Amino acid sequence: MSTATAKRVSYDIGCMKSLRSLPDRVVKKFLDLMTKYMSDPSAGGLNLESVEGSRDEALKSLRVDQGYRAIAFEAGRDIMFVHVNEHDKAYRWASGRRVKLDASTNRVRIVEVLEEAQTVSPTTSETPPLFAGIADKRLIALGVTEEEIPAARTISSLDDLERREGHFDTMTFQVLYGLAAGYSDEEVYALTGIAQEETAQSPAETSFEDLISSEESRQTIFIPESQEDLRRFFEGELDGWRVFLHPEQRKLAYRDYNGPAMVRGGAGTGKTVVAMHRAKHLADQIKQDPQRDGERILVTTFTRSLAQDIEANLKTLCPEHLKDAPRIEVVNLDRWVSQFLKRKSFDRRIAFFGDDRAELDRIWEDVFIDHTLPEGLSEAFVRAEWAQIVQAQGLLDRSSYLRASRVGRGTPLDRRKRAQLWDIFSDYRARLISKNLAEPDDAYREAIEILKAEAPQLPYASVVIDEAQDMGEQAFRLVRAIVPESAGSDANSIFIVGDAHQRIYARRASMKACGINIRGRSRRLKLNYRTTQEIRSWAVAILEGITVDDLDEGVDSFAGYTSLMSGPAPKTIHHSNRAAELDGLACWIKRQVEQGGSVEEIGVLAVTNALADEVCQELGLRGINTLRLSATTGDDRTKPGVRVTTMHRAKGLEFFAVALPFLSEGEFPPKFALQNAVDAADLEDIHSQFRSLLHVAATRAKKALLVSWTGRPSSMFPESPQCD
């Protein structure tokens, strides 16, 4: 048959998976065919033919070339491609499947319907099938289709289930995998993104057109909006997480808010992905409204390297918004402030790093020579008080400091000591000005004052913030000044994602205190898509006993935080000396490659730059090619080599396998970090930061984690390690 009018074409995730196992020439022909139709639907349409023997009359075939066929489902004006394969294999695949319009789960589902005789396989094992103890009624209530239950009954083990993934509808596989991994019913519902009562509803009449655009169907069905979208999807530039959002993620990213909103969640729950889709959604709205021409979405974060990673991903997700006249601008906040003040002729150098930071140390030395410290206080304490209280809160006069809250600072200060300290702070500030220097917090305040006084016509319609836990109070006050609430309207102004469990810098802020009201618009993601349950559990245990804030004025927790995948437990290995530890690391890397891993998907994360450099040198001597990632370089996966970097730089990255070497007592945390503690409270805070750093580093791993040390292990391990 021939379609005389233009159709809306979509692609099930199974279509993408089937294409990836076919020769490149076949993929190219299929893509050319799809692109040609999308560019000119009136040129002849798609010549679809019936599939003889198919259980679903709506399943059709399309000739790709003489030897290959594509299978599609046709309903009204829609064509959804579901599979591509060799002629006979494609027809055999289609003969046993049908497309189910499942109103109870609000999804379009592709199910394999087998004869009962086909599903019963004789076995001599005394071990019962994997789901023998689970009633049909419970499986159906959780989302397994009735058609697939006979096949599910024959699964013998988790490995058997993984081998047969392609024979189950995507949601059914998720349900079965969750049950096999020991998830509760509540965790399975979270995994699939449906409410517990939804599957119990009586199916209602619905159409394919109704369901294909649902939030649930969009988790597994891709509807390209342009030829560029189509090509990026099939050429592999769009990873699954960039296209198929979990329904809960999509709801958070693609909706309107009547004020600032926040998304929290543990490592691997897709917060950054949600932030990027949020930026795309807001930029799409600008594109669709000619009156908003020239507006931008500012995407910002704490570090320059993370901003580079986000920009690279956005160029893949929505390149149309970042080229020519961009609708999305990605820059870390320090750089934004520096550029803004430069345009405003701010004549003081901002001491972000390098020689200017060294100059700050010299100014402090001169100040301490000229002042007597209050009894019982050290120079380190005074500098910490300046940074964590005076600068963080933006205190500009003595009376403000005398009244300031010092919660969390440990050592108490009476009024007399505060007055003495203010004399020191005033002198330090005066010397900064005389040297034409400004600390970053000074620059932030200056930018805020300019924005409030001049009300410059900035192009930003909204600000999207990633890794919010690492930003301080002045940063959020600046964001509020960039997109101020105007005329009582604050809709879609600020979108914040973060997780205080991953706070690796000594910065805290309350959204409310900074003029950002997120009340009623704060949500939490609980499902970890990146890391196996075993690695996640190990990483979570590192933070046991630590109280964590919710980035506003409440307390956060790991309640309900779980992983989608299962895998081997982390390997924790003790070595007698440094050379043996490095030999063990090299052997582990080679074993990952021998087992089919890619060197570009292996990361070695060290606590300091010096240790990362040592890893590169020693692995090179052992015949392993490495790529050193610095604070200013992005991770281009087309470049060969095992990735070696610091734990701090690894924030925002992920690898199939991660090694964390040198985690011995005295090296983690480094002695120099602990020696900088000014009192017991500060020491506890430093310990918390390094626990968070280890948690972050461990959760960069998807499937394999190696932890090694020489001598005594770090006291920060979640428990006494089981040494191999």
Q: Which helix (H) or strand (E) holds 568?
A: none
Give yes or no: residues 705 and 592 share one domain.
yes
What is the per-residue pLDDT across 480-510, written as a single tens digit (0 to 9) for each?
999 998 756 799 999 999 998 998 887 778 8
Give yes or no: residues 488 and 614 share one domain.
no
pLDDT at position 53 is 81
Q: Is residue 549 part of a domain?
A: no
Give yes or no: residues 198 and 175 share one domain.
yes
**How many domains is the chain built from?**
4
3-state secondary structure string across 401-449: HHHCCCCCCCCCCCHHHHHHHHHHHHHHHHHHHHCCEECHHHHHHHHHH
pLDDT at position 591 is 95
Q: Is residue 361 part of a domain?
A: yes
Give yes or no: residues 185 and 255 share one domain.
no
Distance CA 198, CA 45 (A): 38
Mean pLDDT along residues 415-432: 96
Give yes or no: residues 591 and 705 share one domain.
yes
Please say if the pLDDT value at position 724 is more than 50.
no
pLDDT at position 559 is 85
Give yes or no: residues 583 and 694 share one domain.
yes
Q: Of 437, 456, 472, at which residue does a domain stop?
A: 437
pLDDT at position 205 is 65
pTM of the model: 0.82
What is the per-residue pLDDT across 27-82, written as a single tens digit (0 to 9) for each?
999 999 999 888 887 766 788 999 988 889 999 999 999 999 999 999 998 999 99
Q: Is residue 715 part of a domain?
A: no
Give yes or no: residues 397 and 448 share one domain.
no
Distance CA 481, CA 298 (A): 13
Please say if the pLDDT value at position 340 is more than 80.
yes
Q: Is residue 559 part of a domain?
A: no
pLDDT at position 554 is 84
Q: Which helix (H) or strand (E) holds 656?
A: strand 655-660
Give yes or no: residues 292 and 375 share one domain.
no
Please say if the pLDDT value at position 244 is more than 80.
no
Question: Is the preceding peptide bond at 374 cis, omega within 30 degrees of 0?
Answer: no
pLDDT bracket for residue 237 (50, 70, 90): low
Give yes or no: residues 40 and 67 share one domain.
yes
Q: Is residue 420 part of a domain?
A: yes
Closest CA to 153 of 163, 161, 142, 141: 161
Please say if the pLDDT value at position 118 is more than 70.
no
pLDDT bracket for residue 197 (50, 70, 90): low
- CA–chain centroid gap for 96, Å, is 37
Q: Is residue 535 part of a domain?
A: no
Query: Looking at residue 311, which CATH number applies to its domain?
Result: 3.40.50.300
616-632 exposure pattern, b = at least 16 Cβ within 10 A, e = fewer: bebbeeeebebbbbeee
Give yes or no: residues 632 and 653 share one domain.
yes
Range of the domain at 150: 8-212
Query: Looking at residue 135, which CATH number applies to its domain?
Result: 3.30.2310.20
What is the per-residue pLDDT across 586-630, written as a single tens digit (0 to 9) for each?
999 999 999 988 999 999 999 999 999 999 999 999 999 999 999
Q: Of 414, 437, 460, at which residue does a domain stop?
A: 437
Give how far Cα 398 sits from Cα of 37, 203, 404, 416, 444, Å: 71, 69, 10, 12, 21
pLDDT bracket for residue 3 (50, 70, 90): very low
Distance CA 451, CA 461 (A): 15
* Residue whose structure tokens are 């807001």: 282
What mean pLDDT is reported for the chain?
A: 88
Q: Of 473, 506, 529, at which residue does a domain stop?
A: 529
Q: Is residue 550 part of a domain?
A: no
Question: Across 119-128, 195-204, 381-390, which has the greatest mean pLDDT?
Answer: 381-390
Give yes or no: residues 327 and 356 share one domain.
no
- DSSP, collapsed to helix, strand or coil, labels residue 261 as strand
Which range, of 150-164, 185-199, 281-295, averages the lowest pLDDT? 185-199
Q: Is residue 76 part of a domain?
A: yes
Give yes or no: residues 45 and 91 share one domain.
yes
Residue type, 491: A
Give how far Cα 549 sits from Cα of 86, 264, 423, 495, 505, Å: 55, 11, 33, 18, 14
